[in-house]
Amino acid sequence: MYVMAMEILIQKRNFIVENIYDIASILDYLLSADVISFDQRDEIMTKETRSKRTDELVNVLITCHPAALEEFCKALALTGYEFVADELKTALHDLDMKTPVSEQGVVKFCTMSVLAASLL
Protein backbone atom coordinates (compact mmCIF):
# COMPACT_ATOMS: atom_id res chain seq x y z
CA MET A 1 0.00 0.00 0.00
CA TYR A 2 2.88 2.37 0.75
CA VAL A 3 4.11 2.05 -2.83
CA MET A 4 0.62 2.78 -4.16
CA ALA A 5 0.32 5.88 -1.95
CA MET A 6 3.69 7.09 -3.21
CA GLU A 7 2.68 6.39 -6.79
CA ILE A 8 -0.56 8.37 -6.39
CA LEU A 9 1.28 11.36 -4.93
CA ILE A 10 3.77 11.29 -7.80
CA GLN A 11 1.07 10.76 -10.41
CA LYS A 12 -1.16 13.54 -9.04
CA ARG A 13 1.65 16.00 -8.17
CA ASN A 14 0.69 18.54 -10.86
CA PHE A 15 -3.00 18.34 -9.95
CA ILE A 16 -2.17 18.93 -6.28
CA VAL A 17 0.18 21.85 -7.04
CA GLU A 18 -2.28 23.49 -9.42
CA ASN A 19 -5.25 23.27 -7.06
CA ILE A 20 -3.95 24.03 -3.57
CA TYR A 21 -3.46 27.72 -2.86
CA ASP A 22 -3.02 27.90 0.90
CA ILE A 23 -1.11 25.12 2.59
CA ALA A 24 -0.64 26.67 6.04
CA SER A 25 -3.76 25.02 7.50
CA ILE A 26 -2.91 21.74 5.79
CA LEU A 27 0.58 21.85 7.30
CA ASP A 28 -0.86 22.61 10.75
CA TYR A 29 -3.13 19.56 10.50
CA LEU A 30 -0.30 17.31 9.30
CA LEU A 31 1.91 18.59 12.09
CA SER A 32 -0.74 17.87 14.72
CA ALA A 33 -1.25 14.38 13.24
CA ASP A 34 2.51 13.69 13.49
CA VAL A 35 2.82 13.26 9.74
CA ILE A 36 5.41 16.02 9.38
CA SER A 37 7.86 17.59 11.81
CA PHE A 38 8.32 21.25 12.73
CA ASP A 39 11.52 21.25 10.69
CA GLN A 40 9.71 19.89 7.63
CA ARG A 41 6.95 22.49 8.04
CA ASP A 42 9.54 25.26 8.31
CA GLU A 43 11.43 23.97 5.27
CA ILE A 44 8.23 23.89 3.20
CA MET A 45 7.27 27.42 4.25
CA THR A 46 10.68 28.84 3.23
CA LYS A 47 9.96 28.17 -0.45
CA GLU A 48 9.41 31.39 -2.41
CA THR A 49 6.18 30.62 -4.22
CA ARG A 50 2.90 28.87 -3.50
CA SER A 51 3.59 26.21 -6.12
CA LYS A 52 7.09 25.52 -4.77
CA ARG A 53 5.70 25.16 -1.24
CA THR A 54 3.02 22.75 -2.41
CA ASP A 55 5.53 20.80 -4.49
CA GLU A 56 7.82 20.51 -1.47
CA LEU A 57 4.89 19.26 0.61
CA VAL A 58 4.33 16.49 -1.93
CA ASN A 59 8.04 15.63 -1.77
CA VAL A 60 7.84 15.36 2.01
CA LEU A 61 4.67 13.25 1.92
CA ILE A 62 6.27 10.82 -0.52
CA THR A 63 8.93 10.06 2.09
CA CYS A 64 6.51 9.81 5.04
CA HIS A 65 4.93 6.76 6.61
CA PRO A 66 2.16 4.86 4.78
CA ALA A 67 -0.68 6.67 6.59
CA ALA A 68 0.52 10.04 5.27
CA LEU A 69 -1.77 9.93 2.23
CA GLU A 70 -4.80 9.20 4.39
CA GLU A 71 -3.94 12.04 6.78
CA PHE A 72 -3.27 14.36 3.83
CA CYS A 73 -6.72 13.59 2.44
CA LYS A 74 -8.26 14.33 5.84
CA ALA A 75 -6.39 17.63 5.98
CA LEU A 76 -7.55 18.52 2.48
CA ALA A 77 -11.18 17.79 3.32
CA LEU A 78 -11.00 19.86 6.52
CA THR A 79 -9.39 22.86 4.80
CA GLY A 80 -11.69 23.31 1.84
CA TYR A 81 -9.92 21.09 -0.67
CA GLU A 82 -12.29 18.14 -0.58
CA PHE A 83 -12.24 17.94 -4.38
CA VAL A 84 -8.47 17.34 -4.27
CA ALA A 85 -8.96 14.65 -1.61
CA ASP A 86 -11.66 13.05 -3.77
CA GLU A 87 -9.32 13.01 -6.77
CA LEU A 88 -6.60 11.28 -4.73
CA LYS A 89 -9.04 8.75 -3.28
CA THR A 90 -10.40 7.94 -6.72
CA ALA A 91 -6.89 7.52 -8.14
CA LEU A 92 -5.93 5.25 -5.23
CA HIS A 93 -9.07 3.18 -5.66
CA ASP A 94 -8.51 2.88 -9.43
CA LEU A 95 -4.89 1.86 -8.95
CA ASP A 96 -5.86 -0.62 -6.25
CA MET A 97 -8.44 -2.23 -8.54
CA LYS A 98 -5.70 -2.86 -11.12
CA THR A 99 -3.12 -4.24 -8.69
CA PRO A 100 -2.89 -8.02 -8.66
CA VAL A 101 -2.54 -9.73 -5.31
CA SER A 102 -1.04 -13.21 -5.17
CA GLU A 103 -2.88 -15.58 -2.87
CA GLN A 104 -1.62 -19.17 -2.66
CA GLY A 105 -0.04 -18.97 -6.09
CA VAL A 106 -3.19 -17.69 -7.77
CA VAL A 107 -3.25 -14.10 -8.93
CA LYS A 108 -6.45 -12.36 -7.96
CA PHE A 109 -7.37 -8.73 -8.31
CA CYS A 110 -7.99 -6.57 -5.26
CA THR A 111 -11.48 -5.41 -4.64
CA MET A 112 -10.21 -2.64 -2.38
CA SER A 113 -7.43 -2.23 0.13
CA VAL A 114 -7.90 -1.19 3.72
CA LEU A 115 -6.46 2.28 3.06
CA ALA A 116 -8.58 2.86 -0.03
CA ALA A 117 -11.65 1.78 1.91
CA SER A 118 -10.87 4.13 4.76
CA LEU A 119 -10.41 7.02 2.35
CA LEU A 120 -13.75 6.51 0.64
Quote the pTM value: 0.76
| Domain assignment of residue 24, yes or no | yes
| Domain assignment of residue 101, yes or no | no
| Domain assignment of residue 109, yes or no | no
Digit-coded pLDDT (tens) for 46-104: 999 999 999 999 999 999 887 899 999 999 999 999 999 999 999 887 776 665 554 33
Digit-coded pLDDT (tens) for 14-53: 999 999 999 999 999 999 999 999 999 999 999 999 999 9
User: Domain with 70 in it: what CATH number?
Assistant: 1.10.533.10
Q: Which residues of 13-50 are buried (b: 16+ CB within 10 A; e: fewer)?
A: eeebbeebeebeebbebbeeeebbeeebbebbeeeeee
Residue 106: its H or E element: strand 106-109
Measured CA to CA, the distance from residue 4 to residue 11 in angstroms comes to 10
| Domain assignment of residue 40, yes or no | yes
| Domain assignment of residue 23, yes or no | yes
